[in-house]
Amino acid sequence: MGKTRVEAFSDGVIAIIITIMVLELKPKPDTAELAGLKSLLPVFLSYVLSFLYVGIYWNNHHHMFHSTRHVTGGILWANLHLLFWLSLFPFTTAWVGENHHAPMPTAVYGFVLLMAAVAYYILQRAIIAQQGRDSLLAAVVGKDWKGKLSPVLYLAAIPLAFVSSWISDGLFIFVALMWLVPDRRIERVLAKREKE
Amino acid sequence: MGKTRVEAFSDGVIAIIITIMVLELKPKPDTAELAGLKSLLPVFLSYVLSFLYVGIYWNNHHHMFHSTRHVTGGILWANLHLLFWLSLFPFTTAWVGENHHAPMPTAVYGFVLLMAAVAYYILQRAIIAQQGRDSLLAAVVGKDWKGKLSPVLYLAAIPLAFVSSWISDGLFIFVALMWLVPDRRIERVLAKREKE
Amino acid sequence: MGKTRVEAFSDGVIAIIITIMVLELKPKPDTAELAGLKSLLPVFLSYVLSFLYVGIYWNNHHHMFHSTRHVTGGILWANLHLLFWLSLFPFTTAWVGENHHAPMPTAVYGFVLLMAAVAYYILQRAIIAQQGRDSLLAAVVGKDWKGKLSPVLYLAAIPLAFVSSWISDGLFIFVALMWLVPDRRIERVLAKREKE
Amino acid sequence: MGKTRVEAFSDGVIAIIITIMVLELKPKPDTAELAGLKSLLPVFLSYVLSFLYVGIYWNNHHHMFHSTRHVTGGILWANLHLLFWLSLFPFTTAWVGENHHAPMPTAVYGFVLLMAAVAYYILQRAIIAQQGRDSLLAAVVGKDWKGKLSPVLYLAAIPLAFVSSWISDGLFIFVALMWLVPDRRIERVLAKREKE
């Protein structure tokens, strides 16, 4: 089966997730002053972080399906499973935004990040299983140290939120920046294959 | 007429339906504790079930149109009719979520599931009518026992909600799981046709 | 310039419009009874009518662009102009739904329908101007009595809302049904052209 | 890498941004009179202006990617950066709408317009850098006086909002109209290239 509609549907869901998070950013009634903006700062910062994360997921999803040819029923459901956890980002972002530095929302934010990472890993495995160990995706993913380190850091951030939410927030920002650093693996592998 | 835009529009509508349901999952003000999360549990569970159902519909819709070549005006309207009933899922999900185990919301949830199943059946008939009885879709659908059993179970769940909402919820979950079990019909039929 | 992205963007906007209207259909807190559902009936009926209208617009838009080859800057803006008026449907639907049979919301509902019809007409003219008088679209549109009668009826419905909103509602329903009656013009013209 | 999915994702996000802004346009409870509509006028006017701006961005984005062949990781992120600032339009539109002529919301509205213009400029540079100085896009953009004048006017509008919000609003409207004037650069360059 072709992959076009899976990509289109995922694009749609991710586009909606990344956009409806901004609905949380509601101007409080009767505040046309700078103070009103200041009180929205925590909500805004959570929004920026979650926008970054959803952007990273879209980017990686885009790359992953770029090196996928066919999709099976299993891949469709692994993809929906990933979209499910991503769809909880607006909720956790809103909760953290409204209760900045409260341990429970921070821990739940980390838990949903963790589950999304696990879901992404399952999807990646499902695609590689279908494409073969020597497929383009398998070569591109390689050792995947980022994909393996991220869930460990999310997992650490969950209990640490009860020590200090600053540590957890720091870990979330660190992982996001780690993924933002350009990753030339796909382009390198593609260039190498073309040479051979 | 081509089917690309019908698929794209349906993907858009289904992507929005599956995502806006999460807007119901609003953190209550001033609850940054586990208790706040607990109080959201019924809303969350309704969301999971409805996400599953919309996912199943998207999956089946994807398969159905995959084995469709042309669309007629009748198919366009049968498709919009299906999207109409699916668009009511966010409402019924919210109502059930806020009034867990109340008979009326549970019955209405079942009624909308029933109507969506009927609309899906009509759409399927419209496509087969246009494609011919020996088309790929007709072969794939075959006896379609799942498609015939589901509305019967939804129909049973409506009055049973007034006996105990647990029975209805159990039926809804049972039908969802029934569809989740991988269905290799299309892949089998396709493989068989290629051999011939 | 190609038309793919204009179609995709329009599909996206129309898909969102048709779906967010359902957000108005909010279960009232503490009503898990049939009475709660009954109080939502006017909102529901407005939703059904508007869903029908947006569905008709999508259908016609789909047909119109199907017989379009290239788009110009003028067509892009005429299309955005149509989307603007369609984007007001959720607002007018909500206002009518909450104030059933109040003359002002009914008149405004009619006004937005009228402006959408005008915008559709402008878009149609812009495409025909670009495609030529003997293009497929010009042949398909033909005398376009539906397209000419509809704005007249909307225009009549606006002042009549202050006499009785029942008349206006009747006119809105009549126009919707008029468009629902299958219109085989495109299929007939296409079939005829193939013969020649 | 192909550009199809970047276009589709951007279309999705922009379609949602342009549509959810209308959610601000909520009928006040218990106002079925003309007065209720009048009180919504400032919100409506902000909506019209922002709809125009998002429409202009979509139009320009459409043209820019039309003359782009390949996308790199850098372009993907520059695009997400633009979408981030566009995603704040619903917030600033709502804030300005609810506090018409208050200096702070007007200044923030201008700031987000400025940042979107900067993000658009960065994206344009990233694409030209990848495509080469003598690419189609570079030829089309040319001296880009509109792209250079707009941020200057936004920048001026920010402090001027504290003098009189009328000046800032005037500048915002002026820039929007400046972009609305048809720009035949791409069509001219394309026509010229075809001749050669």
Q: Is C182 on the interface with D (CB under 8 A)?
A: no
What is the spatial distance between Cα D131 and Cα D138, in angstroms, rounded to a whole number? 8
D18–C87 C-beta distance less than 8 A: yes
Torsion of CA A175, A176, A182, A185, to 10 degrees: 60
Torsion of CA D108, D111, D113, D116, to 10 degrees: -130
Convert the pLDDT of each residue in B114-132 to its tens digit. Answer: 999 999 999 998 988 888 7
CB C89 within 8 A of CB C52: no
Q: For residue range D55-73, what is the model confidence (pLDDT) as tens digits? A: 999 998 988 888 787 888 8
CB C161 within 8 A of CB C168: yes
Nearest residue to A175 (alpha-carbon basis) of A158, A150, A155, A145: A150
8 Å CB contact between A5 and B11: yes
The DSSP letter of residue C181 is: S
User: What is the reported pLDDT for C40?
Assistant: 87
What value does the mean pLDDT take over residues C164-192? 81
pLDDT value for D184:
60
Q: B54 CB near a chain C CB, below 8 Å? A: no
For A79, the token pair is 């993809």
B23, pLDDT greater than 70: yes
Q: To the nearest whole angstrom, how far is the Cα of C14 from the nearest Cα of chain B?
A: 8
The minimum CA-CA distance between B17 and chain A, rounded to whole Å, is 9
Residues 6+ away with beta carbon under 8 Å from D32: C95, C99, C102, C103, C104, C105
Tell me, what's the pLDDT at B190? 61
With bands split at pLDDT 50, 70 and 90, how would you rate the model's confidence at D172? very high
Give the DSSP letter of residue D132: -
The answer to whether residue C111 scores a pLDDT higher than 80 is: yes
Q: Is D80 on the interface with A (CB under 8 A)?
A: yes
| Amino acid symbol at A1 | M
Cβ–Cβ pairs < 8 A, chains C and D: 81
Mutate to test the interface with D, among A11, A53, A188 (most CBs of D within 10 A): A11
pLDDT of residue D79: 95
Q: Count CB atoms within 10 A of the CB of residue A59.
A: 18
Q: Do C66 and B102 touch (CB under 8 A)?
A: no
DSSP string, A93-157: HHHHHHTTT-HHHHHHHHHHHHHHHHHHHHHHHHHHHHH-TTSHHHHHHTT-HHHHHHHHHHHHH
Contact A23 D90 (CB under 8 A): yes
- Distance in angstroms (rounded) separating the CA atoms of residues A20 and A50: 11
Q: Is the pLDDT of residue D195 over 80?
A: no
Tell me if chain A has a CB within 8 Å of the CB of B181: no
Residues B164-193 have a mean pLDDT of: 80
Q: Which two tokens stand for residue B33?
A: 């504790």
Cβ neighbours for D165, distance < 8 A, ≥ 6 positions apart: D100, D101, D102, D103, D106
With an 8 Å Cβ cutoff, is B59 touching chain A?
Answer: yes
The most distant pair of C-alpha atoms in chain C lies apart, rounded to whole Å, by 66
Name the residue of chain D whose CA is nearest to C162's CA.
D33
Å from C123 to nearest chain B CA? 19
Q: The pTM is what?
A: 0.90
| Res A91: pLDDT | 92
**C113 with C172: CB under 8 angstroms?**
yes
Max CA distance (Å), chain D: 66
* pLDDT at site B191: 66
**pLDDT surpasses 70 at D185:** no
Is D23's Cβ below 8 Å from some Cβ in C? yes
CA torsion C152→C159→D35→D161, rounded to 10°? Answer: 30
Tokens 């109409």, residue? B84
Whether residue C19 has pLDDT greater than 70: yes
Contact D21, D43 (CB under 8 A): no
How would you write chain B as a 3-class SS string? CCCHHHHHHHHHHHHHHHHHHHHHCCCCCCCCCHHHHHHCHHHHHHHHHHHHHHHHHHHHHHHHHHCCCCCCHHHHHHHHHHHHHHHCHHHHHHHHHHCCCCHHHHHHHHHHHHHHHHHHHHHHHHHHHHHCCCCHHHHHHCCCHHHHHHHHHHHHHHHHCCCCHHHHHHHHHHHHHHHHCCCCHHHHHHHHHHHC
Q: How confident is the model at residue A29 (pLDDT cuts 50, 70, 90)?
A: low
Chains contacting C (3 or more CB pairs within 8 Å): B, D
pLDDT at C146: 84
Q: Which residue has the higher pLDDT, B67 or D23?
A: D23
| Mean pLDDT lowest among B46-50, B92-96, C63-67, D28-32 | D28-32
Asked if A54 and A89 count as a contact pair (C-beta separation under 8 A), the reply is: yes
Using alpha carbons only, give the angle D79, D81, D86 rounded to the nearest 5 degrees: 95
CA dihedral of D144, D150, D156, D161, whole degrees rounded to 10: 180
Contact C16 B17 (CB under 8 A): no
Between CA A103 and CA A166 the distance in angstroms is: 10
Res A190: pLDDT:
61
Q: Which residue carries 């087969």 as its tokens?
A: B128
Higher pLDDT, C4 or B185: C4
Distance CA C20, CA C94 (A): 11
Judge contact between A101 and A94, C-beta under 8 A.
no
Give contacts of B16 with chain C, Cβ < 8 Å. Answer: 15-16, 19-20
Residue B40: phi and psi, rounded to 5, are -90, -5
The number of residues in chain A equals 196
Asked if A99 reaches chain B (Cβ–Cβ under 8 Å), the answer is: yes
Closest by Cβ to D9, choosing from A15, A26, A66: A15
pLDDT at D99: 85
% of chain D exceeding 70 in pLDDT: 87
Query: For residue D18, which residues of chain C lie inside 8 Å, CB to CB?
Result: 13, 83, 87
Q: Measure C7 CA to nearest chain B CA, in Å.
A: 8
List the single best residue of B6, B54, B71, B91 to mutate versus C (max C Cβ within 10 A): B91
State which amino acid sits at residue C164. Answer: S
Per CB-CB distance under 8 Å, the chain D contacts of C76 are 59, 62
Q: Write down the pLDDT at residue B72.
A: 85
Looking at this predicted complex, what is its ipTM?
A: 0.88
Contact between C16 and D20 using a beta-carbon 8 Å cutoff = yes
Contacts B12 to A, Cβ<8 Å: 12
d(CA D110, CA D50): 11
How many angstroms separate the CA atoms of B175 and B191, rounded? 28
- Kindly tell me if the per-residue pLDDT of A1 is higher than 70: no
A110 has a chain B CB within 8 A of its CB: no
**8 Å CB contact between D87 and D146:** no
Which of A17, A18, A186 to mutate against chain D (most D CBs within 10 Å)?
Answer: A18
Answer for the pair C36, C95: CB distance below 8 angstroms, yes or no: no
DSSP, collapsed to helix, strand or coil, labels residue D133 as coil
Contact B22 A83 (CB under 8 A): no
pLDDT at B58: 93
Q: Is the pLDDT of residue D28 over 90?
A: no
A20/B25 CB distance under 8 A: no
Distance in angstroms (rounded) separating the CA atoms of residues C39 and C27: 10
**What mean pLDDT is reported for chain D?**
86
Tokens coding C70: 């290239």
- Chain D positions touching C98 (Cβ under 8 A) are 27, 29
For residue A9, the chain B residues in CB contact (below 8 A) are 11, 14-15, 58, 62
Amino acid at D4: T
CA distance B84 to B13: 10
Contact residues, chain A, for B64 at CB < 8 Å: none
Amino acid sitting at position C127: I
Among chain B residues, the shortest Cα distance to A73 is held by B182
| Separation in Å, CA of B153 to nearest CA in chain C | 22
- How many Cβ atoms sit within 10 Å of the Cβ of residue A92? 23
Please report the pLDDT score of residue D181 as a whole number.
77
How high is the pLDDT of residue D77?
92
* Number of CB pairs, chain B paired with chain C, less than 8 A apart: 82
Nearest in space to D183 (alpha carbons), one of D156, D153, D145:
D145
Question: Do A104 and B187 count as a contact with CB atoms less than 8 A apart?
Answer: no
Query: Which stretches within A67-102 are classed as H helix?
Result: 73-87, 89-98
Give how far A146 is from chain B: nearest CA, Å. 28
Instruction: Name the residue in chain C with its Cα closest to that of D190.
Output: C1
